[in-house]
């Protein structure tokens, strides 16, 4: 999560805005928190889209449909205001790392995790399709790996931008290396387009490469439409199924149910233990921890750095050598103190996503108002990045 910048809102609808989660074609995604402490990802659409009446109408329809998608395998849409001057919608916050980031950091997923990922994504796409929605932008950046399985984000709503200044200006919505041939050719697409993107996403998870390689957008679109995907390195147990997803002919691709049946018969996902290797799990837990604002850490460092000077002054009457010993000793002492203090400060502020000086007073205020026990350490919040 990135800190807020000048111009970012501090509140959207009923949510206090705590940081920036991402920024894409349609708008900016913020981490928000309700009064009750529930965390959400709030996507605020670009101001230029907000003025487009066609966009608003489509946005209304898409949000309505997206709200009916089950949240078991996708980030559920939990709230929206399509009539606000800057329209927005909120999805349940998923504590996780994107598949794109995970593979870039740790390389390809091992086979057992790949099987669970395949099953989880098939279930997620099935849920999206059941609501009458086509995802249209399934790719590694839109899959979040969480401790309890993979989640699909960012579905369907991009369609609201079709025909707006954003798309007519030539911006490619979606990621060319993961688009289906029909999408790349600009023809009408059906749910099968998501099966192609699923195949491409799984090749990436299995090999750390996109099946159509890298390069400029036109080259990628050409390869997607007219060349065979490179699926070398995909485990044998999943190869036929993934190859079928990547069929150029939409009707020849499997359905989500066929994928789940295939997995049951040929490559069952493990049913015991964590689904990800331990270093992935560690990265998810780490991403859930708050990162203190640099200002707080700088303050600690400056205060720590000033202490030896104070020690040095006190020792000013002694010889030069004893003063040097005092200053060096003071520096070491302060280094140790900083190392000791930092975790305490971290745990104190854990959960306060965007720290402000006034936050220091909050426990005191609560204590004064409630007349309860002495102010304590704020309980760490679960699951945020």
Ligand X SMILES: Nc1ncnc2c1ncn2[C@@H]1O[C@H](COP(=O)(O)OP(=O)(O)O)[C@@H](O)[C@H]1O
Q: Does 197 bind ligand X (CB under 6 A)?
A: no
- 26 interface partner picked from Mg ion, ligand X, none, CB below 5 to 8 A per type: ligand X
Q: Which of residues 114-133 bind Mg ion (CB under 5 A)?
A: none
Give the Å distances, CA to CA, from 299 to 18, 232, 305, 353, 358: 21, 52, 10, 18, 15
From the CB of 80, what's the least distance to ligand X, in Å?
Answer: 13
Q: Which one is catalytic: 137, 154, 194, 350?
A: 137
Q: Which is nearer to Mg ion, 179 or 241 (CB)?
A: 179
Token pair listed for 133: 């929605």
E-strand ranges in 262-318 read: none
Stretch that binds Mg ion, among 69-77, 150-158, 209-217, 272-280 (CB under 5 A): 150-158
Q: Which is nearer to ligand X, 43 or 58 (CB)?
A: 43
> How many CB atoms are located within 10 Å of the residue 119 CB?
23
Closest Cα partner for 127 from 70, 66, 76?
A: 70
From the CB of 46, what's the least distance to Mg ion, in Å?
Answer: 14
Is 137 known to be catalytic? Answer: yes
From the CB of 264, what's the least distance to Mg ion, in Å?
Answer: 30
Q: Which of residues 41-80 bind ligand X (CB under 6 A)?
A: 41, 43, 75
Q: Which is nearer to Mg ion, 45 or 263 (CB)?
A: 45
- 41 interface partner picked from Mg ion, ligand X, none, CB below 5 to 8 A per type: ligand X
Taking CB under 5 A as the criterion, the residue among 79, 154, 350, 384 binding Mg ion is: 154
Whole-angstrom distance, CA of residue 39 vs CA of residue 220: 37
> How many CB atoms are located within 10 Å of the residue 298 CB?
10
23 - beta bridge partners? 28
Q: Which of residues 91-130 bind ligand X (CB under 6 A)?
A: 91-94, 98
Whole-angstrom distance, CA of residue 117 vs CA of residue 73: 11
From the CB of 224, what's the least distance to ligand X, in Å?
Answer: 19
Q: Does 12 bind ligand X (CB under 6 A)?
A: no
Question: Which residues, at least 6 apart from 291, have a Cβ–Cβ distance to it below 8 Å?
Answer: 1
Q: Which is nearer to ligand X, 103 or 263 (CB)?
A: 103
Q: How big is the CA angle at 32 (ends 11 and 292), to the nearest 5 degrees? A: 105
Q: Does 142 bind ligand X (CB under 6 A)?
A: yes
Q: Which is nearer to ligand X, 166 or 267 (CB)?
A: 166
Sheet holding 149-152, edge to edge: 96-98, 143-146, 149-152
Q: Which is nearer to Mg ion, 157 or 203 (CB)?
A: 157
From the CB of 283, what's the least distance to Mg ion, in Å?
Answer: 19
From the CB of 261, what's the least distance to Mg ion, in Å?
Answer: 29
Whole-angstrom distance, CA of residue 138 vs CA of residue 197: 6
Cβ-defined contacts of 107-114 (< 8 Å, 24+): 107/208, 108/205, 108/206, 108/207, 108/208, 108/233, 109/205, 109/206, 110/277, 111/235, 111/237, 111/238, 112/269, 112/270, 112/275, 113/275, 113/276, 113/277, 113/280, 114/202, 114/205, 114/206, 114/235, 114/238
From the CB of 74, what's the least distance to Mg ion, in Å?
Answer: 13
Q: Which of residues 291-320 bind ligand X (CB under 6 A)?
A: none
Q: Which is nearer to ligand X, 247 or 384 (CB)?
A: 384
Mask 13-32, x = binds ligand X (CB under 6 A)? --------xxxxxx--x---
Whole-angstrom distance, CA of residue 207 vs CA of residue 198: 14
Q: 282: burial class by Cβ within 10 Å (0-12, 13-18, 19+)?
A: exposed
Contacts with ligand X, residue ranges (CB under 6 A):
21-26, 29, 41, 43, 75, 91-94, 98, 141-142, 144, 153-154
What amino acid positions are annotated as catalytic residues? 137
Residues forming contacts to Mg ion in the complex (CB under 5 A) are: 142, 154
């Amino acid at each position: 999560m990135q800190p807020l910048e000048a111009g970012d809102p501090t509140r959207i609808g009923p949510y206090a805005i705590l940081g920036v989660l991402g920024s894409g074609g349609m708008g900016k995604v913020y981490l928000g928190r309700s009064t009750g402490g529930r965390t959400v990802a709030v996507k605020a659409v670009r101001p230029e889209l907000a003025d487009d009446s066609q966009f608003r109408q489509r946005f209304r329809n898409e949000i309505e449909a997206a709200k009916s998608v089950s949240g078991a395998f996708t980030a559920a849409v939990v709230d929206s205001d399509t009539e606000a001057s800057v329209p927005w919608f909120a999805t349940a916050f998923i504590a996780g790392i994107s598949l794109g980031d995970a593979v870039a950091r740790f390389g390809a997923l091992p086979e057992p995790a790949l099987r669970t990922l395949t099953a989880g994504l098939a279930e997620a796409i099935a849920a999206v399709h059941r609501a009458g929605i086509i995802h249209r932008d399934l790719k590694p950046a839109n899959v979040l790996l969480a401790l309890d399985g993979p989640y699909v984000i960012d579905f369907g709503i991009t369609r609201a931008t079709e025909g707006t200044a954003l798309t007519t200006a030539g911006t490619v919505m979606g990621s060319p290396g993961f688009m289906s041939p029909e999408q790349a050719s600009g023809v009408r697409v059906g749910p099968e387009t998501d099966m192609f993107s699923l195949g491409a996403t799984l090749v990436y998870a299995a090999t750390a490469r996109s099946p159509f390689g890298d390069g400029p957008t036109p080259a990628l679109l050409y390869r997607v439409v007219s060349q065979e995907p490179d699926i070398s390195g995909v485990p044998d147990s999943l190869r036929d199924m993934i190859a079928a997803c990547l069929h150029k002919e939409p009707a020849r691709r499997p359905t989500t149910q066929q994928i789940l049946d295939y997995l049951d018969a040929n490559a069952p996902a493990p049913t015991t233990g964590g689904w990800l290797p331990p270093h992935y799990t560690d990265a998810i837990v780490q991403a859930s921890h708050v990162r203190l604002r640099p200002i707080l850490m700088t303050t600690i460092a400056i205060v720590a750095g000033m202490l030896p000077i104070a020690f040095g002054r006190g020792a000013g009457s002694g010889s030069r050598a004893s003063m040097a010993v005092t200053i060096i000793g003071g520096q070491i002492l302060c280094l140790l103190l900083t190392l000791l203090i930092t975790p305490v400060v971290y745990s104190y502020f854990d959960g306060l996503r965007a720290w402000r000086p006034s936050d220091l007073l909050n426990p005191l205020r609560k204590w004064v108002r409630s007349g309860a026990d002495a102010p304590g350490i704020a309980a760490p919040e679960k699951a945020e990045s």
